[in-house]
Chains A and B, each alone.
Chain A
Amino acid sequence: MAREKTIQVTVNGRAFEKTVSVRRSLADFIREDLHYTGTHLGCEHGVCGACTVSMNGRSVRSCLTLAVQADGAEITTIEGLRNEDGTRHPIQQAFLEGFALQCGYCTPGFLITAIEFLEENPDPTEAEVREALSGNLCRCSGYQAIVDAVMSMSGKPAPENA
């Protein structure tokens, strides 16, 4: 029967082995089977970016990835960003200090996307930041504070993680 599969996935440094339905999305797997509920679902068709996680070092839409496709992968979600001593990741701190979130629903996706972007481009222009974040929608904070928070990381050493 090709409708269930056992997969091994490392999420935020922890190894899991689970049997999943082949039609389960990675997002539902992370939220409902592993209980990392910080990964959010907005649209479930790739448009809003709320479900963005890092898979093998690249940001992906977890609503457009099947859980079975993550077999063998290393995944980082919002829960994996904080430092080992419990302090915030520098970009989480920047979002906090810059009031770059209101309800916070969109924030996990923004952070995962921004971390990948800053690794590639540690000293971006505002236009580059806007382009990089264009796939993430926020319905309440407005974008300026988010763009400013990411810009405030500009020129700082690339944050470790994800």
Chain B
Amino acid sequence: MKPAWFDYHAPDNLEDALVLLGDAGIDGRVLAGGQSLMPMLNMRIVTPSVLVDINQIASLNSLQAGPDELRVGALVRHADLMRNPAVREGWPLLAEASNQIAHRTIRNRGTVCGSIAHNDPAAEHPSLLVTLDGTVVAASAGGRREIPAEDFFDGMMSTSLEPGEMVVEVRYPRPRKGACFGFAEFARRLGDFAIAGAAVMATMNGGVCEQARLTIIGMGDGPFRARAAETVLAGSTLDAVAITAAADEVRSAVDPGEDVHGSSSYRRHLAGVMTERALEQAMTRARGDGNG
């Protein structure tokens, strides 16, 4: 297997990369970790005529955890994120869920921003960004803009990036005090893409859930924010009744497609089970130290 011909550029600064991408327009692609793009090139599912390899741009290899937010540059690999002590401490959902992405060798290369730009409906990162209410920073030769997660993802493997534009960074606000997390996914083999998954951030105050953000993975169109279930959870103590009711809401809200990995009804069922598991984790943590 061999990719079709392309022109290859590996600029060492962002400005040059943006000019190259701008000139290439729809014929250009960013090459980050290559863990999704290279298979598509090898199988000629995509045949871009220009590849802009961003791996030499040192400024993009930046991971900063500040008092207000976490900033993850376009060259931060899954392995870097999950091992970073400040991420594990402040954004445990990201660290824990990253452990479920693919296999170690793929996590050594694949990037967080690449996963977000790719928006595979079964991928973890798009849903984590929505759950944590994050923002995408996109840049082109014409300038920069910030795009809230929910406006960024635009259906299966599609985003609101324009031709010539790339993701330079994603940002995650620091979770509020009392935020508790849960994450669960189901795959047939360790490291496979999830058939269904759920990520939750519940903000607790005095044992009561003030606000919950719940996102379902693997339903076909990219991250699915389960708003009806969130409404059920708000004001509850994350007790068993609320958890069951939330899972019911998820089952009736999702509309998964069918593929070789499972039928629509199987996926819907799993979405409910994963919701319950994620919420039970969050609840256990809420009753523990109320942290993490």
Contact = CB atoms under 8 A, between A and B. Distances in A.
Interface in B124-173: none
Contacts, number: 90
B53 to A, nearest CB: 7
B53 A45 contact: no
Given A135-B104, A135-B106, A66 B8 contact: yes
A3 B53 CA distance: 14
A46 B3 CA distance: 14
A64 interface: yes
Interface string A130-142: 1110111000000
B232 interface: no
B5 A23 contact: yes
Q: Which of B35, B39, B104, B105 has the most CB of A within 10 A?
A: B105
B95 to A, nearest CB: 15
B38 A65 contact: yes
Interface in B200-245: none
A5 B56 CA distance: 15
A58 interface: yes
Given A3-B7, A5-B8, A131 B105 contact: no
B215 to A, nearest CB: 24
Interface in B1-23: 1-10
Determine chain A's interface SS by DSSP, over half rule: mixed
Interface in A2-29: 2-3, 5, 22-23, 25
Interface residues of A, number: 30
Contacts of B55: 69
Nearest to A24: B2
B8 A3 contact: yes
B7 A2 contact: yes
A131 B105 CA distance: 12
Contact of B104 (A5, A117, A130): A117
B256 to A, nearest CB: 23
Contacts of A132: 104
Contacts of A113: 104-105
B6 A63 contact: no
A83 B39 CA distance: 34
A58 B80 CA distance: 12
Nearest to A113: B105
B3 A61 contact: no
Closest A-B pairs by Cβ, 9 of them: A135-B103, A45-B39, A22-B8, A134-B190, A64-B38, A2-B7, A58-B108, A59-B105, A134-B191
13 contacts: A5-B8, A23-B5, A46-B35, A46-B39, A61-B35, A64-B35, A66-B34, A117-B104, A130-B190, A131-B190, A131-B191, A134-B191, A135-B103
Interface of B: 1-10, 31, 34-35, 38-39, 41-43, 51, 53, 55, 79, 102-106, 108-109, 189-191
